[in-house]
Amino acid sequence: MKTMTSRYCSRIVTFVSILLAVVLVTTGCTPKAVPIEGPDVSALMLTNVTTSAYDAVPLTWSVGQNTLQSTGTTVLHANNTDGEAKLCWLAPTPATTIDVVQQWGIKDKLPLMTTKSQNDLDIYTPPVGMQYQPAMGVLLTQPFVRWFAEDAREGEIFLTTQLDILMSSSQSTLDGTSLTVTEKSIWQTAVPAPKTLTLTVPVPAGLTQLVVEYGSGSLTKGFVLVSASAQGKAGKGEANSIWLLRMSGTKGTWVQCDNTLGGIIVSDQGSSFARVGALLYFTCTGMKIGCIDTAAGAPSVTLPRTINTLYAKLHREQPTYDTPYNVQAQLTSGNGTLIIEYPDTNWNSLYYAVDAAGTVLGSLSVDKTSVTSFDANGKQGSSLKTPGSPGYISLPSIDLFQADIF
């Protein structure tokens, strides 16, 4: 009798335990699913594209939620008379007010940026007279570079500097020459007239050539990235180096980057740059993506391992037909996230959103009919139709850096 009572009690305890577990589940006491977090990236879809015009429609890519949203409303109709217009813009902004820059090709000597107002759309225009004038005694090529910035003192401004500095026939080094950066407000019709500020800094000693690769920020708080060459020791050719000109309080300081890669970092296809906070990413030689922490006390050129593992995978899967060269990635950023663009085997554009650790957060696939989102595991999410699309989207630019301007 005692044994049967013990077994009976054991069964009751087991039953009660199961019942309690069921109650806990049904009352929501189990751990709740945490919503996936991720950045919202703004973009512009180009639709109804012809050789002479296109429409721009905004979309929002919620990377963590694997969704796409768009009102489908055209916010810009741009004439594209030479077939080379490229749309760049600043983010984040509402769909009804987008600050846009049209970068025109130089084939027909069209303006780099033109002013237009449509549907509350503001297109930034650089002030008249931003052409750089070569300094006396220094041989400069005609091209220059320009970028946009926001400054607490002057508001919205453009900055300009020369693209490169070369030695004249009478020089053995660039010693005694300077790099000049000019800053001017975009509001050229303002009263009183906007100020023009200039920063002139002697180039580092011993250099034989200096090339401006990227610029960001203002004379008060910004930087210019340059690659430079110097005469190496006998029989060893040229030595190459990477420098940051840090601008602070309208004063400039040169800082050399520790370049453990050796040689130049710039790709022979022309590097693509993207700034995410203080980190400047760029494509470089050897089909790699490099990075410089522009705020570091002793900056160095690094190759982020996880990002380059992804890049190598994309490179292995690049289109193999009709490709006489290695396809280089294009870099951009959105809402603090690095975005790597690369074609798939059918030449459709793929966009990978990558966090600071190099982890893929999600991706977009863009072809001539639609834009489709995928999560980090490749699961398909939303899709938007883009009739008449050229097969790519326009992502925001932080600095609107433009090089090779004539």
Minimum mean pLDDT range among 50-59, 270-279, 319-328: 319-328
Half-sphere exposure of 78 (CA within 13 A, CB side): 31
Half-sphere exposure of 28 (CA within 13 A, CB side): 2
Please state the pTM of the whole predicted model.
0.82
Pairing of strands 53-62, 221-231: unpaired
CA pair distance 233, 297, nearest whole angstrom: 29
The DSSP-derived string for 75-102 is: -EEEE-TTS--EEEEESS--TTS-EEEE
What size, in residues, is the chain? 406
pLDDT digits (tens, 9 = 90+) for 315-328: 888 776 665 567 88
Structural element, H or E, at residue 353: strand 349-354
User: In sequence order, what E strands does 70-189 have?
Assistant: 76-79, 86-90, 99-103, 122-123, 144-151, 155-162, 164-166, 178-185
CA pair distance 147, 81, nearest whole angstrom: 24
CA 301 to centroid of chain Cα atoms = 17
At residue 320, the pLDDT reads 66
Hey, is 267 helix, strand or coil? coil
Q: Per the structure block, which two tokens stand in for 317?
A: 């899967």
* Angle ∠(9,15,19) on CA atoms, nearest 5: 145
Structural element, H or E, at residue 258: strand 251-259
| Residue 46 confidence class, pLDDT cut points 50, 70, 90 | confident
Peptide bond into 134 cis (omega under 30): no
Pairing of strands 393-394, 402-405: unpaired
At residue 97, the pLDDT reads 62
pLDDT digits (tens, 9 = 90+) for 69-97: 988 888 777 776 555 667 777 765 655 56
Pairing of strands 360-366, 349-354: antiparallel
At residue 30, the pLDDT reads 40
pLDDT digits (tens, 9 = 90+) for 10-38: 544 444 454 444 443 444 444 343 445 66
What's the rounded mean pLDDT across residues 202-222?
92
39 DSSP 8-state letter: -
CA pair distance 58, 36, nearest whole angstrom: 24
In the chain, DSSP finds a helix count (H) and a strand count (E) of 2, 28
334 DSSP 8-state letter: E
Contact assessment for residue 221 and residue 208, using Cβ atoms and an 8 Å cutoff? no
pLDDT digits (tens, 9 = 90+) for 110-167: 455 556 555 556 777 666 556 544 444 444 445 788 898 887 776 788 899 988 888 8
CA pair distance 192, 189, nearest whole angstrom: 8
Comparing 54 with 307, the larger pLDDT belongs to 307
Q: Per the structure block, which two tokens stand in for 255?
A: 């800082």
The torsion of the CA quartet 98, 99, 105, 110, rounded to 10 degrees, works out to 110
CA pair distance 160, 158, nearest whole angstrom: 7
Q: Which of 253, 150, 129, 149 is nearest to 196 (CA)?
A: 129
| Residue 240 confidence class, pLDDT cut points 50, 70, 90 | confident
One-letter amino acid identity for 324?
P
